[in-house]
Amino acid sequence: MACRASVNLVETTTLSPFTTIGFVGLRERANDIRNRAVRGQQRDGVLTLRAAASSAGSVGRARLEGMTVRVRDYLPQDRAAILALADRLTVGVSAWRPTDAVRRAVHGWVDSSLATNGERTAIFVSVDGEEVVGFVCVSTDQHWSGELDGYIGELVVREDREGRGIGQSLVAAAETWARAEGLGRMRLATGAANDGALAMYRSIGYSYEDVTLSRPLQK
**Domains along the chain with CATH numbers:** 2-211 (3.40.630.30)
pLDDT for 26 equals 46
Q: C-alpha angle 133/116/147, rounded to 5°?
A: 100
pLDDT for 65 equals 52
Cβ-based burial of 145 (10 A; exposed 0-12, middle 13-18, buried ≥19): exposed
The reported pTM is 0.74
d(CA 160, CA 50): 27
| Cβ neighbours, 10 Å, residue 76 | 8
Mean pLDDT by 10 residues, the chain (219 residues): 47 31 42 37 42 40 62 95 94 92 94 89 93 96 95 94 91 95 92 90 93 91
pLDDT for 101 equals 96
